[in-house]
Amino acid sequence: MSEPTFATLVSRWYEENARDLPWRKPGVSPWAILVSEVMLQQTPVVRVLPAYEAWLARWPVPAALAAESPAEAIRMWGRLGYPRRALRLRECATAIVERHGGKVPDRLDQLLALPGVGTYTARAVAAFAYGQRHPVVDTNVRRVVCRAVAGEPDAGPATRPADLLATEALLPAEPAAAALASAAFMELGAVICTARSPRCDLCPVESTCAWRASGQAAPAGPTRRPQRYAGTDRQVRGLLLGVLRETTGPVPRQRLDQVWTDGAQRTRALSGLVQDGLVEPVDDDSYRLVGDGPSVPLPDLTH
């Protein structure tokens, strides 16, 4: 009898040890999986869970979100971070209604054509919502494959075409088994084959891992330098959005001026929110979340 494949071993481990997450439950809708994938981008699971549950309770289908204003999507996004994702998700819902009758498409090309849906998200929805065979490659999967197959301690900061090919080569031929393996690879990288403190003694493929056999240590420093937040324009943008989310309709500029003492940085942050389509001016002295009322021309924020 032949030895179990890499995918078989990891899939067996996943079926016994996977975290109980709501988007993995049987019967969860493709829309719910799409929402989870957008929310999980650059955001820890623990922060996503309450936002995911609240979002789907309010907008359980794409048509429900498409019928709302952009401002409500931004408000509901709360402090999840990178709020442009809320706008992209609403645009995606609108496109799903207009192009696909309100049903998340199951073809990869149609998923890729949706606003804000990139290569990773499209493949993730096709695999996890529709059980298709596609290499679903995020940072965790790249690390697992790089270590187990190539014997390298880290896969680097960006996904390359070679990463997709290497991952696809590990997938079973049968689509449902391949989709399960994709989820398993991701989970293994998230909880066992971590970047700095891998738990190799609990890994289902420790005995065949090329990196483990090489004896190389995990990199001492982070693959990416952590982004500073305190005192940055990102922090100021978040403070401004916090005030605007709590108010329906216009907010006087004077009220916004109270969130940060550096006037030049505050103006720059507000201008960035306007340019990103998250905030719009009502007049020279007040602003609101985009879509909270009739559109108005942009002001000159340089003075």
End-to-end CA distance of the chain: 76
37 included as an active-site residue = yes
Could you give the residue ranges of the DSSP H alpha helices within the chain?
A: 6-17, 30-39, 45-58, 62-66, 70-77, 84-100, 108-112, 119-130, 139-145, 161-170, 175-191, 210-214, 233-245, 253-256, 263-275
* Cα-Cα-Cα-Cα dihedral sign, residues 113, 119, 124, 130: positive
Spell out the residues 6+ positions from residue 39 whose beta carbon is closer than 8 angstroms to its own.
48, 51, 52, 55, 80, 85
In the set 3, 15, 16, 37, the catalytic residue is 37
Catalytic residues: 37
